[in-house]
Amino acid sequence: MARVVRATASRPRLPHPGALAAAASTDDAVDAFVKRFTSSGGEVATADSERPPDDWLTDFLRGLDPEVVGVAVGPDVPRELSPGLPEVAAAHAGAGISLAWAAVADTGSLVLPSTGTRAVQLLPPVHVVWVPSGQVFARLEDALRELEPELPATVGLHSGPSKSADIGRTVVTGVHGPGRCVAVLS
Protein backbone atom coordinates (compact mmCIF):
# COMPACT_ATOMS: atom_id res chain seq x y z
CA MET A 1 0.00 0.00 0.00
CA ALA A 2 2.88 2.36 0.78
CA ARG A 3 4.07 1.73 -2.77
CA VAL A 4 0.69 2.71 -4.17
CA VAL A 5 0.75 5.93 -2.15
CA ARG A 6 4.23 6.70 -3.49
CA ALA A 7 3.26 5.86 -7.07
CA THR A 8 0.26 8.18 -7.07
CA ALA A 9 1.83 10.95 -5.01
CA SER A 10 3.10 13.17 -7.80
CA ARG A 11 0.11 12.92 -10.11
CA PRO A 12 -2.83 15.31 -9.97
CA ARG A 13 -5.96 13.58 -8.72
CA LEU A 14 -8.50 13.46 -11.50
CA PRO A 15 -12.24 13.86 -10.84
CA HIS A 16 -14.88 11.17 -11.33
CA PRO A 17 -16.88 11.92 -14.49
CA GLY A 18 -20.20 11.18 -12.79
CA ALA A 19 -22.93 8.87 -14.03
CA LEU A 20 -22.83 7.42 -17.51
CA ALA A 21 -25.57 9.18 -19.43
CA ALA A 22 -26.96 6.11 -21.15
CA ALA A 23 -29.95 6.79 -23.28
CA ALA A 24 -33.02 5.22 -21.73
CA SER A 25 -34.76 2.96 -24.18
CA THR A 26 -38.11 4.22 -25.36
CA ASP A 27 -39.43 0.67 -25.39
CA ASP A 28 -41.43 -0.74 -22.55
CA ALA A 29 -38.95 -2.41 -20.12
CA VAL A 30 -40.60 -5.83 -20.39
CA ASP A 31 -40.59 -5.73 -24.20
CA ALA A 32 -37.00 -4.54 -24.23
CA PHE A 33 -35.97 -7.33 -21.86
CA VAL A 34 -37.66 -9.95 -24.03
CA LYS A 35 -35.95 -8.62 -27.14
CA ARG A 36 -32.48 -8.57 -25.59
CA PHE A 37 -32.75 -11.83 -23.72
CA THR A 38 -34.00 -13.79 -26.71
CA SER A 39 -31.44 -12.26 -29.06
CA SER A 40 -28.75 -13.67 -26.73
CA GLY A 41 -30.29 -17.13 -27.04
CA GLY A 42 -32.50 -16.98 -23.94
CA GLU A 43 -36.11 -18.16 -24.11
CA VAL A 44 -39.13 -16.41 -22.71
CA ALA A 45 -42.39 -18.06 -21.68
CA THR A 46 -45.50 -16.41 -20.30
CA ALA A 47 -47.47 -18.31 -17.68
CA ASP A 48 -51.10 -18.92 -18.55
CA SER A 49 -53.02 -16.57 -16.24
CA GLU A 50 -56.14 -18.77 -16.47
CA ARG A 51 -54.40 -21.68 -14.72
CA PRO A 52 -52.56 -22.22 -11.43
CA PRO A 53 -48.88 -21.46 -12.14
CA ASP A 54 -47.61 -24.77 -10.75
CA ASP A 55 -49.83 -26.72 -13.16
CA TRP A 56 -48.79 -24.57 -16.04
CA LEU A 57 -45.09 -25.06 -15.19
CA THR A 58 -45.51 -28.82 -14.82
CA ASP A 59 -46.98 -29.04 -18.33
CA PHE A 60 -44.37 -26.67 -19.68
CA LEU A 61 -41.53 -28.87 -18.34
CA ARG A 62 -43.19 -32.02 -19.65
CA GLY A 63 -43.43 -30.37 -23.03
CA LEU A 64 -39.71 -29.71 -23.26
CA ASP A 65 -37.49 -31.74 -25.48
CA PRO A 66 -36.37 -34.00 -23.87
CA GLU A 67 -39.14 -34.14 -21.30
CA VAL A 68 -38.04 -33.16 -17.80
CA VAL A 69 -38.59 -35.88 -15.21
CA GLY A 70 -36.79 -34.72 -12.05
CA VAL A 71 -36.37 -31.10 -11.06
CA ALA A 72 -34.31 -29.11 -8.54
CA VAL A 73 -36.19 -26.19 -7.01
CA GLY A 74 -34.62 -23.21 -5.28
CA PRO A 75 -35.55 -22.88 -1.60
CA ASP A 76 -36.96 -19.39 -2.18
CA VAL A 77 -39.38 -20.51 -4.91
CA PRO A 78 -42.87 -20.42 -3.40
CA ARG A 79 -44.84 -23.66 -3.35
CA GLU A 80 -47.42 -22.30 -5.82
CA LEU A 81 -44.65 -21.67 -8.36
CA SER A 82 -43.08 -25.14 -8.02
CA PRO A 83 -43.94 -27.83 -10.55
CA GLY A 84 -45.62 -31.06 -9.59
CA LEU A 85 -42.62 -33.16 -10.56
CA PRO A 86 -40.27 -35.26 -8.41
CA GLU A 87 -37.53 -33.20 -6.78
CA VAL A 88 -33.98 -34.53 -7.11
CA ALA A 89 -30.48 -33.20 -6.38
CA ALA A 90 -29.41 -30.42 -8.75
CA ALA A 91 -26.61 -32.53 -10.22
CA HIS A 92 -29.16 -35.06 -11.47
CA ALA A 93 -32.09 -32.77 -12.29
CA GLY A 94 -33.40 -32.23 -15.79
CA ALA A 95 -34.26 -28.65 -14.90
CA GLY A 96 -33.54 -26.14 -12.17
CA ILE A 97 -36.34 -23.82 -11.06
CA SER A 98 -35.31 -20.45 -9.64
CA LEU A 99 -36.85 -17.19 -8.60
CA ALA A 100 -35.05 -14.13 -9.92
CA TRP A 101 -34.76 -11.02 -7.82
CA ALA A 102 -35.32 -9.00 -10.99
CA ALA A 103 -34.77 -8.82 -14.72
CA VAL A 104 -32.87 -6.09 -16.58
CA ALA A 105 -33.94 -4.76 -19.96
CA ASP A 106 -30.83 -3.07 -21.38
CA THR A 107 -28.61 -6.12 -20.90
CA GLY A 108 -31.30 -8.80 -21.09
CA SER A 109 -30.29 -10.25 -17.73
CA LEU A 110 -31.82 -12.23 -14.90
CA VAL A 111 -30.56 -11.20 -11.46
CA LEU A 112 -30.09 -14.30 -9.30
CA PRO A 113 -29.08 -14.07 -5.63
CA SER A 114 -26.99 -16.92 -4.20
CA THR A 115 -29.61 -17.52 -1.53
CA GLY A 116 -31.61 -19.29 -4.21
CA THR A 117 -28.88 -21.93 -4.11
CA ARG A 118 -26.33 -21.83 -6.86
CA ALA A 119 -26.41 -25.53 -7.76
CA VAL A 120 -30.01 -25.12 -8.92
CA GLN A 121 -29.01 -22.14 -11.07
CA LEU A 122 -25.98 -23.81 -12.62
CA LEU A 123 -25.97 -27.60 -12.77
CA PRO A 124 -29.15 -28.74 -14.58
CA PRO A 125 -29.14 -28.52 -18.39
CA VAL A 126 -32.28 -26.36 -18.35
CA HIS A 127 -32.76 -23.37 -16.07
CA VAL A 128 -36.30 -22.02 -15.68
CA VAL A 129 -36.51 -18.69 -13.89
CA TRP A 130 -39.59 -16.95 -12.54
CA VAL A 131 -39.42 -13.19 -13.01
CA PRO A 132 -41.52 -11.38 -10.38
CA SER A 133 -43.94 -8.98 -12.06
CA GLY A 134 -43.02 -5.35 -11.59
CA GLN A 135 -39.36 -6.27 -11.13
CA VAL A 136 -38.11 -5.53 -14.65
CA PHE A 137 -35.60 -2.67 -14.58
CA ALA A 138 -34.88 -0.60 -17.66
CA ARG A 139 -31.16 -0.36 -16.92
CA LEU A 140 -28.61 -2.51 -15.15
CA GLU A 141 -27.45 0.53 -13.23
CA ASP A 142 -30.92 0.98 -11.72
CA ALA A 143 -31.11 -2.67 -10.71
CA LEU A 144 -27.66 -2.68 -9.08
CA ARG A 145 -28.35 0.55 -7.22
CA GLU A 146 -31.56 -0.90 -5.80
CA LEU A 147 -29.93 -4.22 -4.94
CA GLU A 148 -26.88 -2.72 -3.27
CA PRO A 149 -28.18 -2.35 0.33
CA GLU A 150 -29.20 -6.02 0.43
CA LEU A 151 -26.40 -7.67 -1.53
CA PRO A 152 -26.12 -11.39 -0.79
CA ALA A 153 -22.79 -13.25 -0.81
CA THR A 154 -22.95 -13.59 -4.57
CA VAL A 155 -25.21 -12.40 -7.34
CA GLY A 156 -25.32 -14.08 -10.72
CA LEU A 157 -26.43 -12.24 -13.82
CA HIS A 158 -27.63 -14.78 -16.38
CA SER A 159 -28.19 -13.37 -19.86
CA GLY A 160 -28.76 -16.45 -21.97
CA PRO A 161 -27.50 -20.01 -22.19
CA SER A 162 -23.92 -21.11 -21.57
CA LYS A 163 -21.88 -20.62 -24.76
CA SER A 164 -18.41 -21.11 -26.14
CA ALA A 165 -16.74 -20.59 -29.48
CA ASP A 166 -13.35 -21.90 -28.38
CA ILE A 167 -13.36 -24.86 -30.74
CA GLY A 168 -13.03 -23.98 -34.41
CA ARG A 169 -14.93 -20.70 -33.83
CA THR A 170 -18.21 -22.61 -33.82
CA VAL A 171 -20.70 -21.57 -31.16
CA VAL A 172 -21.77 -24.45 -28.93
CA THR A 173 -24.24 -24.09 -26.05
CA GLY A 174 -24.45 -25.76 -22.66
CA VAL A 175 -20.70 -25.99 -22.19
CA HIS A 176 -20.65 -25.76 -18.40
CA GLY A 177 -23.75 -23.95 -17.30
CA PRO A 178 -27.32 -24.53 -18.51
CA GLY A 179 -27.70 -24.95 -22.26
CA ARG A 180 -31.21 -23.50 -22.06
CA CYS A 181 -32.29 -20.58 -19.98
CA VAL A 182 -36.02 -19.80 -19.84
CA ALA A 183 -37.39 -16.64 -18.25
CA VAL A 184 -41.00 -17.01 -17.19
CA LEU A 185 -43.05 -13.84 -17.09
CA SER A 186 -46.31 -13.93 -15.22
Partner 1 sequence: MHTGMKDYPSRSREIIRGDPGVREAVTGATIAFDRKRLQGYAEVDAEAWRRWAEGVKSHTLTHLDDYLAEAEARLEANGAEVHWAADAAEARRIVTGLADRYSVTSVVKGKSMVTEEIDLNPALEAEGIEVYETDLGEYILQLLEEPPSHILGPAIHKSLQQVQELFADRLGLEPDGDPDTLASAARQVLRDAFIRADMGITGGNFLVAETGTVALIENEGNIRLTTSLPRVHVAVVGIEKLIPRMTDLAGFLQLTARAATGQPIGCFVSLVQGPATHPDDDGPEAVHVVLVDNGRTDVLAHEHAWEALRCLRCGACLNACPVYRQTGGHAYGHVYSGPIGSVLDPGLVGLHEAMPLPFASSLCGACEDACPVRIPIPELLLEWRREAQEEGLTPWRERAALKGLAGVATRPGLYRVVGKIGSRLGGTGMARALPMLGEWAADRALPKPSRRTFRELWREGIE
Considering the complex, what minimum distance in angstroms separates the CB of residue 52 from partner 1?
25
Do the beta carbons of residue 183 and residue 43 sit within 8 Å? yes
Do the beta carbons of residue 135 and residue 129 sit within 8 Å? no
Between 36 and 68, CB nearer to partner 1: 36
Choose among 94, 104, 113, 67: nearest CA to 178. Answer: 94
- Rounded Cα–Cα distance for residues 132 and 174 (Å): 25
Considering the complex, what minimum distance in angstroms separates the CB of residue 1 from partner 1?
6
Q: How many CB atoms lie within 10 A of CB 65?
A: 6
Between 14 and 134, CB nearer to partner 1: 14
Considering the complex, what minimum distance in angstroms separates the CB of residue 17 from partner 1?
3
Q: List residues near partner 1 by CB under 8 A.
A: 1, 3-8, 10-17, 19-23, 36, 40, 75-76, 91, 106-109, 114-119, 121-122, 139-141, 143-145, 148, 151-170, 172, 174-178
Considering the complex, what minimum distance in angstroms separates the CB of residue 46 from partner 1?
22
Between 51 and 92, CB nearer to partner 1: 92
What are 103's strand-pairing partners?
A: 110, 136
- Rounded Cα–Cα distance for residues 125 and 93 (Å): 8
Between 130 and 158, CB nearer to partner 1: 158
